[in-house]
Amino acid sequence: MQIRYLLYVFILLIGVSSCIPTKKLTYLQETEQQQDSVIPIHKEEDPYRLQINDLLSIRVKALDDNLVSIFNPISDNNPNATTEEKLYYEGFLVDRHGNIRIPVIGEMAVLGLTLEEVRINLEEILLKDYFKETSNVFVTVKLAGIRYTINGEIGNPGSDIIYREQATIMEAIANSGDIEVTGDRTDVVIIRQYPIGQKVHHLDLTDINAMNSPYYNLQPNDLILINPLPQKSSGTGITGLQSVTTILALVTALTSTILLFISL
């Protein structure tokens, strides 16, 4: 009788701990279900400041086409080319000293500046040294896409680029084939680059409040890690059917062992 009782307790513990509850699989859950609820934005996000290894796309337009062509490395045959290969060779990389190298102008310090500040500084240099006020100089400075790397329990791990001014971690996950059932959505790790080094941040994507986190929006060179749930390492099954199959196999093995022990 005591052995049977212990066996029942053992089976119950396995059943409870093996299945992954729906709450751990659902994104951005609300604490209280509301219809057409509005998610408040607590604060305006600070503009992104350039870091080392960022890649910039810079275009200069003016009435003097001959002079403009000196500053635009992208071929006129395809002025809006944004392929990764073209951007690698023709974009402006922020080097380890925090500078970019622009034709004719030379090195320009951009580390820690916003894209708007870089644009204003570049326009001032061009108007001062190369163009007249009547040239109608127009400068566009953009990030050459938001590059990120995602690894772990994800459908398609690896590096990718989103050609947008702003993108969220949910978009990165969607582009990578979604988080596997065995992935921990409650503790997504984001390793982000800062001027002083790298910092590790954690984000619970099952909570609707994650949308107000400063780490919800992607930044260039983010590393996203999706860690596995305990169910994957324990091997007890991630669905009800798998758990029942595992439990039945254990019961069969234990019963055979007990019967063999009794018959001795």
pLDDT, position 88: 74
Q: 134 pLDDT exceeds 60?
A: yes
Which pLDDT belongs to residue 64?
79
Q: Tell me which residue of 132, 108, 135 sits closest to 120, measured CA to CA.
A: 108
Residue 123: its pLDDT value, please? 93
- What would the pLDDT profile of 47-89 be if each residue is shown by its tens digit? 899 999 899 989 998 887 777 877 776 554 545 444 666 777 7
| pLDDT classification of 205: cutoffs 50, 70, 90 | very high
Which one, of 49, 56, 115, 48, lies nearest residue 87 by Cα?
Answer: 56
**pLDDT beyond 80 at 145:** yes
Distance, in Å, from the CA atom of 262 to the CA atom of 9, rounded to the nearest integer, reads 21
> What pLDDT does residue 31 have?
73
Q: Over the chain, what is the mean pLDDT?
A: 80
Q: Cβ atoms within 10 A of the Cβ of 5, count? A: 9
pLDDT tens string 7-56: 555 555 555 555 667 777 788 888 766 656 666 555 567 889 999 989 99
In Å, what is the CA distance from 162 to each residue of 50, 145, 168?
17, 5, 10
- pTM of the predicted protein model: 0.74
Q: What is the pLDDT of residue 235?
A: 55
239 has a pLDDT exceeding 60? no
pLDDT of residue 192 exceeding 90, the answer is yes
Q: Which residue has the tokens 């709450």?
A: 23
What is the C-alpha to C-alpha distance for residues 239 and 192, in angstroms, rounded to an integer? 34
What is the rounded average pLDDT of the residues 105-109?
A: 94
Please, what sign has the CA dihedral across residues 159, 164, 169, 170? negative
Q: Does position 114 have pLDDT exceeding 90, yes or no? A: yes
The pLDDT of residue 86 = 73
Q: What is the pLDDT of residue 194?
A: 84
Edge-first strand order for the sheet with 222-226 is 158-162, 146-152, 222-226, 188-194, 197-203
**What is residue 78's predicted lDDT score, i.e. its pLDDT?**
47
Percent of the chain with pLDDT over 70: 71
Give the per-residue pLDDT at 201.
96
Binned at pLDDT 50, 70 and 90, residue 153 comes out as: very high
Please report the sign of the dihedral spanned by the C-alpha atoms of residue 12, residue 16, residue 18, residue 22.
positive
How far, in Å, CA of 40 to CA of 111, rounded?
32
Beta bridge partners of 197: 194
- Report whether pLDDT(191) > 80: yes
Whole-angstrom Cα Rg for the chain: 28
Q: What is the largest CA-CA distance in the chain?
A: 104
Beta bridge mates, 61: 138
Query: CB under 8 Å to 195, separation ≥6 — which residues?
Result: 49, 51, 111, 112
Alpha carbon distance 13, 180 (integer Å): 24
- Torsion sign, CA atoms 48, 52, 53, 56: positive
